[in-house]
Amino acid sequence: MGKNKTMGTLLVIVSAVTFGSLPLFSNLAYGEGIPVSTLLFLRFFSASIILWTYIFIKNINFKISKHAFIHLALISIVGYTASSSGLFYSYKYISGSLATMIIYCYPIIVVVHEMINSKNADFKKLFCLLTTSFGLILIVCTGPVKANLIGVILAFISALGYAFFCIGLEEKETQSINSIVISAYVMTFCSIVYLLQCSITKHALFAPNYESLFYAVIIGIVCSIVPTITLYEGVKKIGVGNSVILSSFEPVFVCILGVIFLKEIITFNMVIGGLLIVSSLILLQTPITIHSFRKSRNYN
């Protein structure tokens, strides 16, 4: 059991680190002159090809109902593509570290949606919402580092899109579908969207050089497939709550990579704001009830 928990923890950490390398590889690709729409198309196209190949090799059942197909198409096109576009375009205006910290407000957006639907005020959730909002204000007011308003708005659009996608995944239509199959459909729908975008904007479907193609495929594999599968396997071993808490440290990895490889500047405001957001996410996933407290007291 101990080994199982350790393996689950390692898998979730791998997921956080690999997804956290997205700003690094994206900026390296931009440096080679690849357009955002082309990069996104190649990312999702390469990921979908690999995922569907894996599904067929493993003989995984990929058939879903018509309603589930439409639902996945909706949350992919409206949610995931909005999140991806907002994120990748924000890198053009603000640092990857700043963008990631803003995007990590998405769990709070999901919580607000849940509170509105349930019409039930939760003190802990309200506290986390206020703390995250204050942290976001600190991050945007980055002191000596100018936070470009367009970049901030794009990063927040990315957070809204991903929150919409996560809320959509909670629907009954997707609960019984294999997560790898869901990922394959999502990647496929996204690749179609960016195929159309490239056609409309007259951007090439192919990378301008081998270097940018390499980074695009790396993003598709390392930053899309690996974090998705390792997170899924990690959740099975240590549970959703523990996985979310460990994943909350992804912004830390992004900051470390940004400082080392991209020479990004991390300000005091960004550190404090990031800590407030991460702390709120951890508190949000920690069950604190009178019942559990009494139970622990009785056990001791």
Residue 120 belongs to some domain of the structure: yes
Q: What is the pLDDT of residue 146?
A: 54
Residue 102 belongs to some domain of the structure: yes
Residue 300 belongs to some domain of the structure: no
- What is the percent of the chain with per-residue pLDDT over 90, rounded to a whole number? 39
Q: What is the pLDDT of residue 42?
A: 95
Residue 296 belongs to some domain of the structure: no
Residue 294 belongs to some domain of the structure: no
Which residues have CB under 8 Å from 135's CB, separation 6+? 101, 272, 273, 274, 275, 276, 277, 280
Q: Each residue of 251-266: pLDDT tens digit?
A: 777 877 888 888 877 7
Q: What is the pLDDT of residue 123?
A: 76
- pTM here? 0.81
- What is the rounded radius of gyration, in angstroms, for the C-alpha atoms of the chain? 20
Residue 269 belongs to some domain of the structure: yes
Q: What is the pLDDT of residue 40?
A: 96
Residue 295 belongs to some domain of the structure: no
Please identify every stretch of the chain with a pLDDT value under 70, giving residue numbers as ranges: 1-2, 119-121, 140-147, 239-249, 284-300
Which residues have CB under 8 Å from 109's CB, separation 6+? 159, 160, 163
Whether 186 and 225 have beta carbons less than 8 Å apart is answered as: no
Q: What is the pLDDT of residue 290?
A: 39
- How far is it, in rounded angstroms, from Cα 59 to Cα 133? 45
Q: What is the pLDDT of residue 60?
A: 94
Residue 299 belongs to some domain of the structure: no
Q: What is the pLDDT of residue 145?
A: 53
The whole domain housing 47 covers 2-289
**Number of structural domains in the chain:** 1
- How far is it, in rounded angstroms, from Cα 62 to Cα 64? 6
Q: What is the pLDDT of residue 296?
A: 33
